[in-house]
Amino acid sequence: MVEVRVVADPEQLPVMRAVVGDLAMRADFDVDTIADLRLAVDEACSSLVRIAAERSQLVGRFRTENDVLEFTAEVNSPDASGPRKNTFSWRVLSALSDNVASSVQESEEHADGHVVRIQLSKGRMVHE
């Protein structure tokens, strides 16, 4: 597993895109799937950055296993509702990923905050 922590700021999103692109390339994903993963990670992180608490970190966890790349991103947020799923952004995220989900739980570190997560996965095309 690879974990990346950056400030929850749009200017930091290229870091997450670069990491997923590199990991997917090393795992022998095809060019189109790598492009989908970069866009999906960007969309997930953008959604979380929009609702992140001030001075929050964006944490990304990447795991490649059995021809599948899994990505989980999380931020601390004052918003208990999490990312909205009736948006164009969520539709794009769903179209680019094999599986996508979000979750919200109360933060143990911040009294009035929440940890908001988006998890996604995408499988590698197996060529025979």
Tokens describing residue 38: 């970069």
* CA atoms of 22 and 24, how far apart (whole Å): 6
128 inside domain: no
107 inside domain: yes
Q: In this structure, what are the phi and psi dihedrals at residue 70, rounded to the nearest 5 degrees? A: -110, 140
* CA atoms of 126 and 128, how far apart (whole Å): 6
* Res 68 pLDDT > 60: yes
Alpha helices (H) along 1-128: 13-26, 31-51, 88-96
DSSP 84: -
92 inside domain: yes
Domain that holds residue 88: 2-123
Domain count, the chain: 1
64 inside domain: yes
103 inside domain: yes
CATH number at residue 53: 3.30.565.10
Convert the pLDDT of each residue in 23-56 to its tens digit. 999 999 999 999 999 999 999 999 999 999 999 9
pLDDT at 28: 92
- Spell out a b/e string for 30-43, using b for 16 or more CB atoms within 10 Å of the CB, else e: eeebbebbbbbbbb
Convert the pLDDT of each residue in 72-109 to its tens digit. 999 999 988 888 888 898 999 999 999 999 999 987 77
* CA atoms of 62 and 23, how far apart (whole Å): 8
105 inside domain: yes
